[in-house]
Amino acid sequence: IIEDVQVRKILDSRGNPTIEVDVITWNSKGRAAAPSGASTGSYEVVPYPKGGIDEVVSEMEDLIASELIGMDAEDLVTIDEVLKEVDGTDNLSAIGGNTTVAISMAVAKAAAASYNMPLYKYIGGNLVNELPFPLGNMMNGGAHAGINAPDIQEFLVVPVGATNISDAVFANASVHKRLKELIQSKDSNFTGGKGDEGGWVPNISNDAALEIQARACEEVGDELGIEIRPSLDIAASELWNAAEQKYIYAQDGIKRDTGDQIDFVKDIIDTYNMFYVEDPFDESDFGGFSQLTAKVGDKCLICGDDLFVTNKELLAKGIEMKAANAIIIKPNQIGSLSETYATVKLAKENNIVPVVSHRSGETTDETIAHLAVGFSSPLIKTGAIGGERIAKLNELIRIEEELPNPTMNKF
Ligand code: PGA
Ligand code: ZN
């Protein structure tokens, strides 16, 4: 039974304020913090009310607490509904989706703690046994980096040949190290600058970045004896110019219409044997997604982030249109853990791979590591280095130790 809900303003990894919530029950406590996006999807819930976190702390904490005190922390679906009613808007703009999601996650953690259970086991049950493969962020461009960086937002890698989580996260860290050397060999002025998610920000073309990404995967993969495959988040909504109906690649000085974009991405997937490509088209272009998935969906994961924004209805549309075979899962895009779970469930029922993900602005909150294991998600996207990223990766190493018979997830 919930006895108190406390809200505070804390720092995130970009130095911006974010919200942290403590939920206190008669015999336990749960704590969770919300992350924040930079390349947010248009259909995400609104993170904060007009007055920001300060308004939540000063004016809404007591109101929310009074609604939740006395409720059973195990009854998360009802609690999430009550929070929506308290908000009263369609997009959570009155109390903020970051407020509701932090409360929702803190409630779940308090419920798990009341059984002395880790969150992954509370969600996934006693049989949970599989670790997700980490999608590691190696180089950053686009909205996560400066103006001379590549247009593609994230150059990622997946150690698909790893047989345990420790080997997997250290393989990613090795590729990250190797890439620094490879960038320096192309650009002697490179000083080791990093983007929001800890990937290097090189002053090189998209093509050059793709080439050294592939090379680093191959070299490190050979050295470690672990197959490592390149992946991308193109975050194409950020490149799309609606007036011109073109994707603008500023760094390369090239504009592509949807047809060109399909050819461009397909060519990259074929040339570099890409494992995973996220948001290759604008968030409104389900058609472009469908065409690409029809061409390459048998050999590459085509993932919707801004396209689906963790929203069950948008995913249902994507399933009907065969728009993608993977979906990014970011709880704060939809504002509650129970709705996040409903989206994951729909994805799994339709063979869409759910990819539990961090955001570019993060805290040391480790909840998503538990969600990835509890949801039995084959992939987790949470960077490769940096305190707020390793908080999740190191938690996965601890979870692996606790599991009776741990294996890496399957695709
Ligand atoms: P965001 O971006 O957290 O800045 O929205 C991450 C992503 O696009 O995957
Ligand atoms: Zn994305």
Q: Which of 12, 135, 329, 360 to mutate to test the pocket of ligand 1 (most atoms within 8 A of CB)?
A: 360
Sign of CA dihedral 329, 334, 337, 340: negative
Q: What is the 3-state secondary structure (H, E, C) of 229-277?
A: EEEEECCHHHCEECCCCEEEECCCCEEECHHHHHHHHHHHHHHHCCCEE
Residue 367 near residue 391, CB atoms below 8 Å:
no
Rg (CA), the chain: 21
At residue 147, the pLDDT reads: 77
- Name the residues around ion ligand 2, CB cutoff 5 A: 233, 278, 305
CB of 305 closer than 6 angstroms to any ligand 1 atom? yes
At residue 162, the pLDDT reads: 98
Sign of CA dihedral 263, 324, 306, 210: negative
- Ligand 1 atom closest to residue 38's alpha carbon, by position in its atom list: 4
CB of 38 closer than 6 angstroms to any ligand 1 atom? yes
Ligand nearest to the CA of 383: 1
CB of 37 closer than 6 angstroms to any ligand 1 atom? yes
**Among 77, 76, 37, which residue's Cα sits nearest to residue 309?**
37
At residue 142, the pLDDT reads: 87
Walk along the chain (411 residues) in steps of 10 and give the mean pLDDT of each run. 97 98 98 95 97 95 96 98 97 98 98 98 96 98 84 97 98 98 94 95 94 98 98 97 96 94 98 98 98 98 98 98 98 98 98 98 98 98 98 98 96 78
- Closest Cα to atom 1 of ligand 1: 37
- Ligand 1 atom closest to residue 328's alpha carbon, by position in its atom list: 9
Q: Which of 13, 98, 155, 305 to mutate to test the pocket of ligand 1 (most atoms within 8 A of CB)?
A: 305
CB of 44 closer than 6 angstroms to any ligand 1 atom? no
Determine the Cα–Cα distance for residues 92 and 81; give it in Å rounded to an integer: 12
Ligand nearest to the CA of 330: 1
What ipTM describes this predicted complex?
A: 0.98
At residue 252, the pLDDT reads: 84
Q: How far is the CA of 36 from the centre of ligand 1 (A)?
A: 8
Annotated binding residues: 144, 153-154, 233, 278, 305, 330, 357-360, 381
Separate counts of helices (H) and strands (E) for the chain: 14, 16
- Ligand 1 atom closest to residue 278's alpha carbon, by position in its atom list: 9
At residue 17, the pLDDT reads: 97
At residue 251, the pLDDT reads: 87
Q: What letter would DSSP give residue 404?
A: S
Residue type, 213: Q
Global confidence as pTM: 0.97
Q: How far is the CA of 309 from the centre of ligand 2 (A)?
A: 10
Q: Which residues lie closer than 8 Å to 386 by C-beta, 6 or more apart?
A: 13, 194, 197, 198
Positions marked catalytic: 197, 330
**Among 264, 189, 182, which residue's Cα sits nearest to residue 215?**
182
- Ligand 1 atom closest to residue 235's alpha carbon, by position in its atom list: 8
Task: Report how far Cα 65 is from the mean position of its chain's Cα atoms.
Answer: 29
Residue 116 near residue 361, CB atoms below 8 Å:
no
Rounded (5°) CA angle 114-391-174? 145
